[in-house]
C-alpha cells in the first residue's frame, strides 16, 4: 500500500524541532520550512525505496548519543 501524504507528513513532523540534527545535518526545522517544495518528491522516494526493498547499508544505520541531563551525571 503506498504511503499517503497525510501519513508521511505525520511521520516527518512527529519529532521535536529542537532535538539534534540527523547525520545529514538536516533538522526538522529544515523540513518544516521547505515542506511544500519537497513533500511530493520525498514521499515518492520513500515509497519507491520501500517497494524495491533496496536500501543501502548506511540507510539502515543510526547514531545514538548519550547526553547528560546534569553536570554531575556519571552513568548513562
Which run of H or of E encompasses 11? Answer: helix 5-12
Cell numbers 514521499 correspond to: 43
What does pTM read for this prediction?
0.52
For the stretch 1-20, pLDDT in tens is: 677 878 878 877 776 666 65
Distance (Å, rounded) from C-alpha 32 to C-alpha 28? 6
* C-alpha of 59 from chain center: 11
| Domain residue extents for the chain | 5-60
pLDDT band at 40 (very low <50, low <70, confident <90, very high): confident
| Closest-CA residue to 49 (of 59, 39, 63) | 59
Amino acid at each position: 500500500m503506498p504511503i499517503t501524504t497525510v501519513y508521511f507528513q505525520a511521520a516527518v513532523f512527529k519529532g521535536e524541532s529542537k532535538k539534534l540534527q540527523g547525520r545529514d545535518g538536516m533538522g526538522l526545522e529544515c523540513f518544516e520550512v521547505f515542506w511544500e517544495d519537497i513533500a511530493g518528491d520525498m514521499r515518492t522516494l520513500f515509497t519507491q525505496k520501500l517497494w524495491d526493498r533496496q536500501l543501502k547499508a548506511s540507510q539502515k544505520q543510526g547514531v545514538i548519543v548519550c547526553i547528560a541531563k546534569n553536570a554531575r551525571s556519571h552513568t548513562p
